Chains A and B, each alone.
Chain A
Amino acid sequence: MIKGKRLEWTICYLFLLPNIILYLLVRLIPFASTIVLSFTDWQLIGSPNFIGLKNFVDMFNYPVFWKAFRNTLMFAVYSVPPSIILGLLMAVLVNRDLPGMKLFRGLYFLPYVTSIVFVAVIWRWLFSTDTGLINALLNRIGVSSVPWLSSPKWALLSLAIVAVWQNVSFNMLVFLAGLQGIGSDVYEAAVIDGANSVQTFLYMTVPLLRPTMTVSAIMTTINSFQVFDLAYVMTQGGPLDSTYTLVYYLYDFGFRYMEMGHASAVAVVLFLMIFSLSIVQRLLLRER
């Protein structure tokens, strides 16, 4: 009997083996190394020296770090609330049985399945100040050109618009699943009580979906903290560093200046930001 159990356990471990080996190799050991590296001055050549917290102190003294930090937070502020609110409104809109509804949902979902890089290449042209489609359309209806990507005032906001365009359908789908879980009897009761659609939305849909909204907001925020592709392709961090983000900073230090120690320190800071949000999310999910 004991022997049989042993054998069964061994088989279980064999099933888990590919994942465990790969995780140790490409996730856990590298992750631990990131933390170790963040306390060294390693530049890829020579041997690393332990320098304590110097990378972190340096980083906190660089104005460009704070610029990147601020840009990252502002990007979240610009992109997360619209993504949640529009996602919810869209979910309410598409949550009905009308002919062609599946097609519409599918169309809204196209940006989400498209790589953010390809999205960025398309929007780089759409948003181009002198040659882009959007300004051409605006001019036609008498609105003067907007310097979408060429002005430091507009660039980060423009990237946020693209981010919302790309991920709002994810939130739509999440809320749609939530709405379908609520059940129609609740709504029928409300209609019988004389509630109109705005009232049912504000006093029933929103409160009932609040837990989903919170979790969804945290996920969207975690993603927005990692914005890099959009900035790299559309603005290269400019103009005047106005779209320079934390991941961009990490990329520059790690893979252009080869300052592996310093880049690792940024990685640790970013990780802590995201990790704390993940913990909150886990706790909320468990509460449900």
Chain B
Amino acid sequence: MRAAKRGKTVLIYICLIILAVIFAGPFVAMFLVALQANPVVSAKDITLELTLDNFARVFKDSRLPRWFWNSVVTTVVVTVFGTFFSSLSAYVMAKKDFPGKELIFWLFLAVLMFPAHAWIIPMFIQMSRMGLVNTYWPFFLSGTSSAFGIFLLRQYIEQNVATDILEAARLDGCGEFRTYTRILLPTIIPGLVTLAIFLFIQWWGQFMFALIMTTSNDMYTLPVGVALLRGVAPSNLRFVMATTAVAVLPSILVFVFFQNYLMRGVAMQLR
């Protein structure tokens, strides 16, 4: 019985390790190519002669620093304001009653169902008329409201914030906005972090939207810049992989540090 149980545990670990190779292997391969000291044309050229020079090269000789900066600005603004605006709406949707609440709820729900292609053509036309293509504004305008965020936080507030506390604060003479900043926000920090991570990952990787809203090399975000690297010769594979590795790294770091929050958020998506 004990032996059978140990055999089963070993089998489980073998499965776990095979899966780990499947899911993490491509990233290892990416870093391995990015670190190659000699040009790589095919997979057979990979050696253990490693160097960090490729990273220095792509930072010096390509537009990577600029793309990185564009990605940082758009993602950070969208994440901060997206979380803030969502928490404002979620608060009153969860804890207040007012005329038109149902209507507004349905409006948000409808927005949640609109896939990007359903609005992106007129939005592009509007942005180009206003001269905002190739600026950060399309990202700010489009990203800072998140229907998913409103639903996530509304649910979080309903489950974790007692109405009594808010009432008590008001009886103590707190105004609505003070109640929101002093009482509500501190109690929903885990929810805010979860949403912020979602927004970060979503906008760090945003592709089609960025491809359409930017046409100049200087305004590309990382996904667009990396996707359009494809013109380069195969012998430059290690530079392509070095650029991709730099682009991937921030989302991996965010994930490593906030894994628990992210996983909780995923589970909430289906409730």
Residues of A within 8 A of B (CB): 8-9, 11-13, 15-16, 18-20, 22-23, 25-31, 33-34, 37, 44, 90, 93-94, 96, 98, 100-102, 104-111, 113-126, 130-133, 135-137, 165, 169-170, 173-174, 176-177, 212, 215-216, 219, 222, 226, 228-229, 232-233, 247, 250-251, 254-255, 260, 263-264, 266-268, 270-271, 274-275, 278, 285
In the bound complex, residues from chain A placing their C-beta under 8 Å from that of B122 are: 29-31, 33-34, 37, 264
Q: Is B52 an interface residue (CB 8 A)?
A: no
Interface size class of B (residues with CB under 8 A): 35 or more
Interface hits, B1-45 → A, CB 8 Å: 9, 12-13, 15-16, 19-20, 22-24, 26-27, 29-30, 33, 41-44
- Let me know if A109 and B248 touch, CB within 8 A: no
Please give me the residue from chain A that is nearest to B243 by CB atom.
A121
Q: Which of B57-65, B159-167, B204-212 contacts A (4 or more CB under 8 A)?
A: B204-212
Which 3 A-B residue pairings sit nearest by Cβ, starting from the closest?
A: A115-B205, A33-B122, A131-B42
Residue pair A28, B111 in contact (C-beta under 8 Å): yes
Nearest residue (CB) in B for A130 is B42
| In the complex, per-residue mask of B109-132: 1 if CB is within 8 Å of any chain A CB, else 0 | 011011111111111111000000
The SS class assigned to the A binding surface is helix
- Are A31 and B118 CB-contacts (below 8 A) given A26-B141, A255-B212? yes
Asked whether any CB of chain A lies closer than 8 Å to the CB of B56, the reply is no
Partner of B251, one of A20, A113, A132, A268: A113
Could you tell me the distance between the alpha carbons of A215 and B237 in the complex, rounded to whole angstroms? 40
In-complex Cβ contact of A232 among B22, B44, B227, B229 (8 A): B227
Across the interface, do B176 and A23 meet the contact criterion of CB distance under 8 Å?
A: no
Q: Which residues on B sit within 8 Å (CB–CB) of A26?
A: 119, 123, 141-142, 145
Chain A residues with Cβ below 8 Å from B26 are 111, 119, 122-123, 126, 165
25 A–B contacts, CB within 8 A, in A order: A19-B89, A22-B144, A27-B145, A28-B107, A31-B114, A115-B207, A115-B247, A117-B205, A118-B247, A121-B229, A122-B27, A122-B29, A126-B26, A132-B42, A132-B43, A136-B44, A174-B267, A176-B267, A212-B270, A228-B207, A255-B212, A260-B121, A260-B125, A270-B115, A271-B115
